[in-house]
Structure 1
Amino acid sequence: MPIPLHAQEFSRNSDLFNQQIAAVLSHIKPPIFPKKEFKVQVKQGHSFQQAVNQTIEACHKTGGGRVTVSKGEYVCNGPIRMLSNVNLHLSEEAIIRFGTNPADYLPLVKVRWEGTVCYNYSPLVYANGQKNLAITGKGIFDGQADKFWFVWKKQPNGDDQEKAKTILRKMGETGVPESQRVFGEGYKLRPTLLEFYDCEGILLEGFTAQQSPFWTIHPVFSKNITIRNLTIHHGTTNDDGIDPDSCEDVLIENCDINTDDDPISIKAGRDQDAWSRKGSRNIVVRKCTLRSRIANGFCIGSEMSGGVENVWVDDCRIPTANLGLTLKANLDRGGFVRKLWVRNIMIDSCRQAAIRMQMDYHSYRGGNFPPDFDQITLENIQVHSARDYGWWLVGVPAKPIGFVQIRNIKFDYIGKGNKAEFVNLKTND
Structure 2
Amino acid sequence: MNRILTGLLLFLLLCGTIIQFPATTQAENDSGWDQVPEILKQIVKPTFPDRDFLVTDYGAKPDGKTDATQAFKEAIEAAHDAGGGRVVVPAGTYTTGAIHLKSNVNLHITKDATIKFSQDPKKYLPLVRTRWEGVELYNYSPLIYAYDQENIAISGEGTLDGQADHEHWWPWKGKKEFGWKEGQPHQAAGRDLLFEMAEKNVPVEERRFGEGYYLRPNFIQPVKSKNVLIEGVHIVDSPMWNIHPVLSENIIIDHVTVTGHGPNNDGIDPESSKNVWIKNSYFDNGDDCIAIKSGRNADGRRVNVPAENIIIQGNEMKDGHGGVVIGSEISGSVRNVYAENNRMDSPNLDRVLRIKTNSIRGGVVENIFLRDNDVANVGGEVVRVNMYYEEGDAGPYTPIVRNIEVKNLHSNGGNYGVWVRAYDRSPVQNLRIIDSSFNHVKTPMLIENVENMVLSNFHINGANYDNDPPTTTAEISGDTLSDGTFLNRAEVKLTAADRDGIEKIEYRSGDDSWRIYTHPIVIDQPGEMRVQYRAVDKTGNREPVQTASIKVIQTNMENLKMYVAKAEINPEGIRKALLTRIEEAERDFNKGDRQRGNKRLEQVKQYIEKQPEHHISKETKKDLVKVINHLMAD
TM range, normalised to the smaller chain? over 0.9
- Native 8 Å contact 1:157 1:186 kept in 2: no
Q: Which residue type is aligned with residue 100 of structure 1?
A: Q
- TM-score, normalising length from structure 1? 0.93
Question: Any idea what the Cα deviations from partners look like across 1:115-174, whole Å, max 9, x if unmatched?
Answer: 000010000000101001101000100001115111245468996212211111111222
What is aligned with 2:43?
28
Q: Does 1:59 align with 2:87?
A: no
Shift of 1:332: 0.6
Long gaps (5+) in structure 1 = 1-11
How is 1:100-111 mapped onto 2 (pairs within 5 angstroms)?
A: 100-111=119-130
Distance 1:230 1:317 in 2: 15
Q: Which residue type is aligned with residue 212 of structure 2?
A: G
Q: Does 1:299 align with 2:325?
A: yes
How is 1:385-424 mapped onto 2 (pairs within 5 angstroms)?
A: 385-386=413-414, 388-424=415-451
More divergent stretch after superposition (367-376 vs 63-72): 367-376
How is 1:127-146 mapped onto 2 (pairs within 5 angstroms)?
A: 127-146=146-165
Kindly report the root-mean-square deviation, in angstroms, between the aligned alpha carbons of the 2 structures.
1.9
What is aligned with 1:347?
375
- Native 8 Å contact 1:145 1:235 kept in 2: no
Q: Which residue type is aligned with residue 193 of structure 1?
A: F
Question: Any idea what the Cα deviations from partners look like across 1:265-312, whole Å, max 9, x if unmatched?
Answer: 11101011111321111111110111224x111111011110101111
Long gaps (5+) in structure 2 = 1-27, 175-179, 457-465, 467-634
| Larger proportion of strand | 1
Q: Does 1:232 align with 2:247?
A: no
Shift of 1:317: 1.1
Instruction: Give the direction of change, closer, same or farther, for the CA distance of 1:269–1:80 in structure 2 (3 Å limit).
Output: same
Shift of 1:56: 0.4
What is aligned with 1:220?
246
Give the count of matched residue pairs: 414
Q: Please give the secondary structure, in 1, of the residue aligned with 2:260.
A: coil
Instruction: Give the direction of change, closer, same or farther, for the CA distance of 1:47–1:281 in structure 2 (3 Å limit).
Output: same
- Native 8 Å contact 1:158 1:186 kept in 2: no
What is aligned with 2:90?
70
Higher relative contact order (CA 8 A, sep 6+): 1
Of 322, 326, 338, the residue aligned with 2:350 is 322
Distance 2:450 2:421 in 1: 7
Q: Please give the secondary structure, in 2, of the residue aligned with 1:427.
A: strand
Distance 1:365 1:168 in 2: 22
What is aligned with 1:6?
none
Distance 2:212 2:78 in 1: 35
More divergent stretch after superposition (217-226 vs 138-147): 138-147
Shift of 1:99: 0.8
Of 396, 412, 421, the residue aligned with 1:368 is 396
Question: Any idea what the Cα deviations from partners look like across 1:166-225, whole Å, max 9, x if unmatched?
Answer: 111111222111011111011110000111111011011000000000000000000011
Q: Please give the secondary structure, in 2, of the residue aligned with 1:217.
A: coil
Distance 2:392 2:440 in 1: 33
Distance 1:152 1:375 in 2: 38
Q: Which residue type is aligned with residue 210 of structure 1?
A: V
- Native 8 Å contact 2:172 2:215 kept in 1: no
- Native 8 Å contact 1:282 1:309 kept in 2: yes
Instruction: Give the direction of change, closer, same or farther, for the CA distance of 1:44–1:358 in structure 2 (3 Å limit).
Output: closer
Instruction: Give the direction of change, closer, same or farther, for the CA distance of 1:316–1:255 in structure 2 (3 Å limit).
Output: same
Q: Does 1:252 align with 2:278?
A: yes
What is aligned with 2:621?
none
- Native 8 Å contact 2:60 2:71 kept in 1: no
- TM-score, normalising length from structure 2? 0.63
- Native 8 Å contact 2:60 2:72 kept in 1: no
What is aligned with 1:114?
133
Instruction: Give the direction of change, closer, same or farther, for the CA distance of 1:140–1:380 in structure 2 (3 Å limit).
Output: same
How is 1:59-98 mapped onto 2 (pairs within 5 angstroms)?
A: 59-76=79-96, 78-98=97-117
What is aligned with 2:70?
50
More divergent stretch after superposition (364-373 vs 213-222): 364-373
How is 1:170-319 mapped onto 2 (pairs within 5 angstroms)?
A: 170-277=196-303, 278-293=305-320, 295-319=321-345
